[in-house]
Amino acid sequence: MPLIGAVADDLTGATTTGVLLARSRARTAVFFNEKAALKAEGVSALDAILISSNSRPLPPAEAKAYVTDAAVALKNMGVRYFSKRIDTTLRGGIGHEIDAMLDVIGEDAVAVVVPAMPQSRRIVVGGYSVIDNVALIRTPVAQDVRTPVKENYVPKLLAAQTSRKVGLVALGTVLQGEDAIREELQKTREGGAEVIVVDAISIEDVAAIAKACVALNWNVLAVDPGPFTAKLAQARGLIGEESPNIPTEAPAEGKTVLIAAGSATPVTKKQMEVLCTDERVKRISIDPIPLINGGGEAEEAIEEAADKACGYLGEEEQPRAILFETALHGTLLNLDEEDGKRGYVRGQSANMINAGLGRIVSYVLKRVGREKIAGLYCTGGDTMVNVCTTLGVECIEVIDYVIPQTDVGRLIGAYDGLPIVGKGGLTGTNSTAIEIVDRLMHEATRK
């Protein structure tokens, strides 16, 4: 029976936390929604279950409803320890979603919020979020089209969203160690706080916070990007120490990685430019307008891209990778404007582009078969969801990461066992795409 359960507001967030548990040898599955989890078979063999509520861009009431359903699903599966996975850049209605989970877990529950992910240079100091040495509100996330973040002070950000009192345990206390943290947590809760933010700048800080919570024997809702959830599980003796989980066999040869690049961030653009300097990588650029328009226009564009890819895969020497992209060439579209022109609801243009990328990948797999394919690489959580949904996949077993927030898994169900990597648009260095393709070649040999 799974003892650990988490609700994430998007799929890549769920895999990020799931991978930290999987690297500690907990058998971990990530479900795309609560309906997929409820109808799944064999969940009793799992140690941890994560469910994506896909709620980050939704209005508060709608987001709370999805999170509530996911939390109830976990509770009905027998989960004992709960987490609310949050974005490292604090996007979405975190406070509203905390309220939803606390309402399900029980009246004695307290949310301990540890937004730090030191492995990815995300830390919290004095309640302020710092991303790779830059204040959160000075990063590109602050200008995110769908979920901008305008408040850098985490307690204030949460207080504007949650109905519960918010407290803070500052870095000065955290640096004194487990005993000091435990005393300050107790004092803060006695002061009426039900949501407590805790500073951390290192993974050792996160581990000390986890040990303090276990010593208090609280019914804790862990609210974090993943490290605090993993350290709590370790402190409770549920999992072991984290370590890499890399296949020992030589990389596969004569196979191709299919890349669906849905992210349009400068980080992703540069990574793909570096990847495409390798002549073994084929780039297929797709005009996004036909995909947005839908109907016959979209079908024609999808078939054209799939035909071109199948032509490459039919050559005597297969490409190492084929990149499908709609936003890494030419002028970047304003998708809100495209929605307005067509009378679409906000976000529909982006969804139609991602669905188009998913259909292209599906067409290629159906026509050439999985034996030619080493694995799938998706940039952006929405792209990954659309690719998997189009393939008929609603669950991924997570295994490891290439780098933190760039997660390796295997499809469950359709194309069972096919490796997949999901990467957030802001994650990684210039060489990350190359590293991902290399890793998928290794994963293609995993038994």
The set of residues, in sequence order, having a beta carbon less than 8 Å from that of 66 and lying 6+ positions away, is: 34, 53, 54, 55, 58
- Given 235, 266, 290, the domain boundary residue is 235
Residue 262 sits in the same domain as residue 214: no
243 located within any domain: no
Residue 400 confidence class, pLDDT cut points 50, 70, 90: very high
Residue 297 sits in the same domain as residue 387: yes
Task: Locate the DSSP E strands across 2-152.
Answer: 4-8, 28-31, 48-52, 81-85, 109-113, 122-125, 128-131, 134-135
The pLDDT of 19-23, averaged and rounded, is 95
Residue 216 sits in the same domain as residue 353: no
- d(CA 331, CA 374) in angstroms, rounded, equals 32
Q: Which stretch of DSSP H or E encloses residue 68?
A: helix 60-76
Residue 41 sits in the same domain as residue 155: yes
User: Residue 321 sits in a domain of what CATH number?
Assistant: 3.40.980.20
Give the pLDDT confidence of 166-190 residue by residue, as tens digits: 999 999 999 999 999 999 999 999 9
Residue 185 sits in the same domain as residue 286: no
Residue 185 sits in the same domain as residue 264: no
User: Residue 155 sits in a domain of what CATH number?
Assistant: 3.40.50.10840
Residue 136 sits in the same domain as residue 227: yes
pLDDT at position 56 over 80? yes
Instruction: Identify the pLDDT of residue 154.
Output: 98
- Given 206, 235, 264, the domain boundary residue is 235
249 located within any domain: no
Instruction: Identify the pLDDT of residue 270.
Output: 94
Residue 93 sits in the same domain as residue 48: yes
Residue 444 confidence class, pLDDT cut points 50, 70, 90: very high
Instruction: Identify the pLDDT of residue 382.
Output: 84
pLDDT at position 193 over 80? yes
The set of residues, in sequence order, having a beta carbon less than 8 Å from that of 35 and lying 6+ positions away, is: none
240 located within any domain: no
The pLDDT of 251-267, averaged and rounded, is 92
The pLDDT of 322-348, averaged and rounded, is 91
The total number of structural domains in the chain stands at: 2
Q: Which domain holds residue 111?
A: 4-235
